Structure 1
């Protein structure tokens, strides 16, 4: 027992990781805050009682992906709101660092609460919650809760497991690219990516218009950052901090040139696990040297603690959590080296120890689905004048060729993202046809998801769906036309359709 309470807890401590813990816990909590805000604003029209894919129907059929509180409670829009508000309140407390001043079990309990609440949402979220950053946020919340509070030193095993999560995230993405489209191997992927990515941002066009040699350098830099740099995270300081800094810089470039919800910000936050306090203090001398764990070490055996200032119960919790996460990630380790590598896959119902990856192939053309409405026409006869047709404008996805793309990340516009997938997966999606039906009756909840309703809240007489090829305007085209986008004449793929 003396070995257990003195030697082992001392080995668990990582006194050089106090600032890493601070960044990890507050950063992940901030991302949960954004995720719950996105859920409050979008879940009900997308998945609520009258949603495009109603969650009650999913639960009644028993087709939820895994554990969810709504299986026990039953789903209602009111309960969803309560869950979202509670999630935001708990997230805000953790961002402020208030629970971290208490006993080590307190931030753990709150992070597990966030994990359980958001897992309940993701498991009934269907295609609108089928993105890799959802499972990344779940796994991150579960893991950083085990870092404890200021009353104990940061546990070294948990910092290593966060580094292991970053490794799976980055190296998995690098391997999926090398095994994916040839454009990653012949260095042409970035000739297209900035233009064809799901949701460009204000700087995406400028990034796309860079010369080809620049795009080749981008691809090479991506391969280095994802296939080589992650190994540096496991090396002693200051090499680990250098690796973390390199990952953060490459992710900031992705933040600057795209809208990938909280994927890039989560990677930046999690990479902080490899930052050492000693390195940070050399870089930023004004940083406080003591965040509270030193005082805990001096308290010794206070409150039933060990000789290293770590309570025995906390030692047991950290070791149990470490073993659970290691076991859960074994399938993901095998997946990294599998010829049939899976991308963004979970191997258990709890979405822990996941496999990650993104953009194994890059589309070379941008196809946009544009929904148009008219109040003209009569009976079953739509108007012949093209001027009578006006588009519904989405908040994030391209539409109006004169409109510059906006910055939305880390906020996630779920409907806009699914509209990007439509040309790839086909228009015969249940949610999309339900969307068209709701637009025909001017459903207020659905209209609030859009930027602009051409009928100003009135029900249209007809709607139709057109498909266009979009590309960024060159500098000369931008000067001549004032357009950010150029597009072809398009073709009608659905409709015109009238309300019945």
Structure 2
């Protein structure tokens, strides 16, 4: 499912640039006659510069907490899908959170310009950006986004700095190619090499032209993030966490077998997602570099209404029919082998990390939660028929048992 998020545009752009980085006429790991063009390398460097500047500028222009250095007081607890390390980092001292926020501004707003200050400073930026992504991987479940961001960061290093990664024979070949280039003895141009040069120059012109609205967006006080100005998403503008939610809320799906949902004796049982917070006793999960899209979308839905996220009602209808596709995206179905629920509702809760070392934590509670109210009222299959028809959704049906 492609839902126009920043990581998808970044994946498209990175994949597009990789086409021109790979050798065409040989399967050799080190193509001697036609090594990767410096133009291709710079397109990747330009990508990492835009990714980081976009993220840094949207923060400075967005939430006040990025300017008063308090955003990290909330981020670990309220990020889309926290991991176990997030639980402990959230309780770091206030001064450490201020240091984190200042470091974030330096990494995203200052370090990218090192790319244009010569070989050594470019490599410094590469080291900074890769270490930054590793920290993000360890402290949260931001899916494959951080791993993907490491890819253009590698372009900040040249062959000499990465020579230790090659076998001895390959390392010798790389050094010979570099020495020939420095001595002004490039390989004799062939028709294929000339064609490749034309393609590389054309790529530079294309990226430069498509970068104009992106740069204008970065300079604008009305900057938007995770947007493309061309239909193929070849050059995009990026950004993340321009605003930070100060409280974590969750939508919890509950079902019951009771005939009357208003019956005070009705037992409502909870569905558990693969990773997002639900059961307060369940340890936050580790999923990076994988990505559970439904869990992420539920994070967005929690600070909207079900009218703004109508797909939540679609999920409820599928749960009422014990739809195997939707249930495969969940960790626990309370009605497994017990038939189908008569009613499903959405409850809205506020979640907070428990205090490490407290009595609640000693009881195995990773989270504390408090009910806010109903997110959507109890619904049944028949009651949803008109709702589904008005939106041209296929009405779910309870699967018939095999005789």
TM-score under structure 2 length normalisation: 0.85
How far apart are residue 322 of structure 1 and its match? 1.5
- What is the Cα deviation at residue 494 of structure 1? 1.8
Residue matched to 2:7: 133
- Work out the CA distance in 1 between the residues paired with 2:237 and 2:366: 37
Q: How much has 1:471 moved relative to structure 2?
A: 0.7
Residue of structure 1 in register with 2:311 after alignment = 431
Seen in structure 2, the aligned counterparts of structure 1 residues 286 and 312 have a Cα distance that, compared at 3 Å, is: closer
Aligned partners of 2:286 and 2:354: how far apart in 1? 19
Instruction: Determine which of 395, 406, 409 is the counterpart of 2:288.
Output: 409
The CA deviation at 1:244 is 0.6
Output the CA distance in 1 between the equivalents of 2:283 and 2:45.
Answer: 37
1:163·1:234 contact (CA, 8 Å) conserved in 2? no
Structure 2 contact 347–371 (Cα < 8 Å) conserved: no
SS in 2 for 1:425: coil
- 2:107–2:129: 8 Å Cα contact kept in structure 1? yes
Any conservation in 2 of the 1:326–1:353 contact (CA below 8 Å)? no
Partners in 2 of 1:358 and 1:243 — Cα distance?
19
Q: Distance in 1 between matches of 2:223 and 2:66?
A: 16
Range with bigger deviation, 472-481 or 224-233 = 472-481
Tell me the CA shift for residue 165 of structure 1.
Answer: 0.7
Inter-partner Cα distance in structure 1 for 2:204 and 2:297 = 36
**What do residues 54-109 of structure 1 show as CA deviations (whole Å, max 9, x unaligned)?**
xxxxxxxxxxxxxxxxxxxxxxxxxxxxxxxxxxxxxxxxxxxxxxxxxxxxxxxx
**1:452 maps onto 2:326 in alignment:** no
Cα distance between partner residues in 1 of 2:298 and 2:359? 27
Once the 2 structures are TM-superposed, how far is the Cα of residue 300 of structure 1 from its aligned partner?
A: 3.4
Specify whether residues 148 and 286 from structure 1 end up closer, same or farther in structure 2 by C-alpha distance, changes over 3 A only: closer
1:47 is matched with none
Question: Which whole-Å CA distance do the structure 1 matches of 2:10 and 2:117 have between them?
Answer: 24
User: Secondary structure at the residue paired with 1:469?
Assistant: strand
Rounded to whole Å, the distance in 1 between the matches of 2:165 and 2:379 is 62
Structure 1 residues 165 and 356, CA gap change in structure 2 (3 angstroms): same
Task: Give the drift of 1:285.
Answer: 8.6
Give the aligned partner of residue 187 of structure 2: 300
Cα separation, 1, equivalents of 2:261 and 2:21: 65
Q: Distance in 2 between matches of 1:278 and 1:424?
A: 49
Name the CA distance, whole Å, in 2 between partners of 1:299 and 1:177.
Answer: 45
Distance 1:382 1:290, change over 3 A: farther
* 1:21-170 pair list within 5 angstroms: 43=1, 125=2, 129-149=3-23, 150-151=30-31, 152-170=34-52
- Give the corresponding residue for 1:474: 355
Q: Do the aligned residues in 1 keep the contact of 2:305 with 2:375 (CA within 8 Å)?
A: no
Cα gap change, 1:154 to 1:291, in 2 (>3 Å): farther
Relative to structure 1, the CA distance from residue 147 to residue 442 in structure 2 (aligned partners, 3 Å threshold; closer, same or farther) is same
Return 5+ residue gaps in structure 1 as ranges: 1-42, 44-124, 306-310
TM-superposition CA deviations, 1:313-343 (whole Å, max 9, x none)? 1111111112111111110011111010011
1:261/1:381 CA distance change after superposition, 3 Å: closer
Provide the rounded CA distance (Å) in 1 between the counterparts of 2:359 and 2:243. 29
Q: Following TM superposition, by how much is the alpha carbon of 1:273 offset from its aligned partner in structure 2, in angstroms?
A: 0.5
Distance of aligned partners of 1:484 and 1:250 in 2 relative to their CA distance in 1, 3 Å threshold: same
* In structure 1, distance between residues paired with 2:173 and 2:13: 25
> 2:399 maps to which residue?
none
- Cα 1:299–1:452 shift into 2, 3 Å: same
Aligned partner of 1:361 in structure 2 is 243
CA distance in 2 between partners of 1:479 and 1:138 (Å)? 43
Aligned positions of 1:228-247 closer than 5 A:
228-247=110-129
* Closer, same or farther: CA 299–213 of 1 in aligned 2, 3 Å: closer
Q: Which of residues 269, 274, 278 is equivalent to 1:395?
A: 274
Show structure 2 runs of 5+ residues with no match.
Answer: 24-29, 383-403
Give the number of aligned pairs. 365
Q: Is the Cα contact below 8 Å between 2:261 and 2:343 reproduced in 1?
A: no
Greater share of residues in helix: 1
Q: Deviations over 1:396-428 (max 9, x none)?
A: 211010111111122221111110011323211
| Structure 1 CA distance for aligned equivalents of residues 44 and 208 of structure 2 | 11
